[in-house]
Amino acid sequence: MFQDLNQFIVSLIGKGDLSDILSVVVYSALPLVLILLYALVAILGEMKISAWLQDRLGPMRTGPYGILQPIADMLKLIQKEDTTPKLADKKLYNAAPFIVFIGSYMAFAALPFAAMYAGARINTGIFYIVAVSGVVVVGILMAGWGSNNKYALLGSMRSVAQIVSYEIPAGLAILSVVMIAGTMDLQTISHLQQGGLQNWFIFGGPKSLAGFGGGYAWILTPLMVVSFLIYIVASLAETNRVPFDIPEAESELVAGYHTEYSAMKFALFFLAEYANMFAVSAIASVLFLGGWNSPIAGFLDAPWMGAIWFIGKAFSFVLIQIWIRWTLPRLRVDQLMHICWKVMIPFGMATVLLVGTIVTFLAH
């Protein structure tokens, strides 16, 4: 992939240092292009789906059926005034959107978009993605403290408490996949799930390879479904989406930690939030649903089709998140903490031990 890109750029501007640097930059910026395009589609999806669920039409004026609405919104945001409250802590206030955006973009660096493209193939893959979300948390705290606004501070505290709490069940759910795969490298995890639906980790992982229990791996299916559900619920909480949107509960906290932000700084938060939604959906699809693999062996599985499958799977999860948002009511804080600490963590631990037991006895 990198060589192809390099050759393409060399054919355009000739070989030299410039072409090398350019191809490296383009290679590293590909996820950014994806985030921007996806955010436009997802914002339109959010507006249209909410409208349909509430028996409205949604935006209709900008372009046919309002499909240009996100672009109009973006242009509007660029022209807005960039305000900084007088009492805000300028340094923290200005740094917060960067930290949040960098944190969410860094998660994209390790995602395997296709068999031939992953921003960085690192062997700590999924563990690294779990870790960089900590950077986002620090950015949210910066925004809450720096804004010098009561809503922002409360929103950021709630958000951080919620994100860190749900990181534990998410980590335990991810662990059960790592245990079967025997690796944390996301590209290897994707390769292992080749050959159709039955090899996906939600169905117990690859059936043809030795060392995984072969065909008996089917009996892991119920445990993996539990892990999958734990991960999905935890990912909703980590992205502050309904029913876990207490940090941004608009009836009590206005807009949570980004109450004071305007113009493009607000847009950065917004983009980071949507990027996070995509990232957690993508991780769910890589870990449990085959990543860039086609569900049927040999069906539309050209190497470049992998990117389509990957983005399609991740995007359908994003649509489910939007659907949930406009369907379910919000939880209370005590309910939220109860679900995390008293339901999901014991279930997660039990799943890890049971998967461990089965894998140990299948592998030997």
Question: Cβ closer to another protein: 29 or 320?
Answer: 29
Q: Which residues contact 250 (CB under 8 A, 6 or more apart)?
A: none
Question: Cβ closer to another protein: 48 or 294?
Answer: 294
Contact status, residue 40 vs residue 74, Cβ threshold 8 Å: yes
Contact status, residue 51 vs residue 37, Cβ threshold 8 Å: no
Question: Cβ closer to another protein: 55 or 334?
Answer: 334
Least Å distance, CB 249 to another protein, is: 14
Residue 196 token pair: 């159709």
DSSP 188-235: HHHHHT-SSGGGSGGGTS-SSSTTTTGGGGGGGHHHHHHHHHHHHHHH
Question: Cβ closer to another protein: 106 or 279?
Answer: 106
Least Å distance, CB 177 to another protein, is: 9
* Residue written as token pair 């979300």: 133
* Residue written as token pair 């005590």: 334
Least Å distance, CB 239 to another protein, is: 16
Question: Cβ closer to another protein: 68 or 138?
Answer: 138
Least Å distance, CB 5 to another protein, is: 9
Question: Cβ closer to another protein: 47 or 99?
Answer: 99
Residue 24: HSE in the Cβ half-sphere, 13 Å Cα cutoff: 5
**DSSP H helices in the chain:** 2-13, 17-53, 69-78, 90-108, 125-146, 150-181, 186-192, 221-238, 250-253, 263-288, 305-325, 333-338, 345-363
Question: Cβ closer to another protein: 295 or 356?
Answer: 356
Least Å distance, CB 116 to another protein, is: 6
Contact status, residue 114 vs residue 170, Cβ threshold 8 Å: no
User: Is the previous residue joined to 243 through a cis bond, with omega within 30 degrees of 0?
Assistant: yes
Least Å distance, CB 270 to another protein, is: 11
Least Å distance, CB 313 to another protein, is: 19
Distance (Å, whole) CA 283 – CA 319: 15
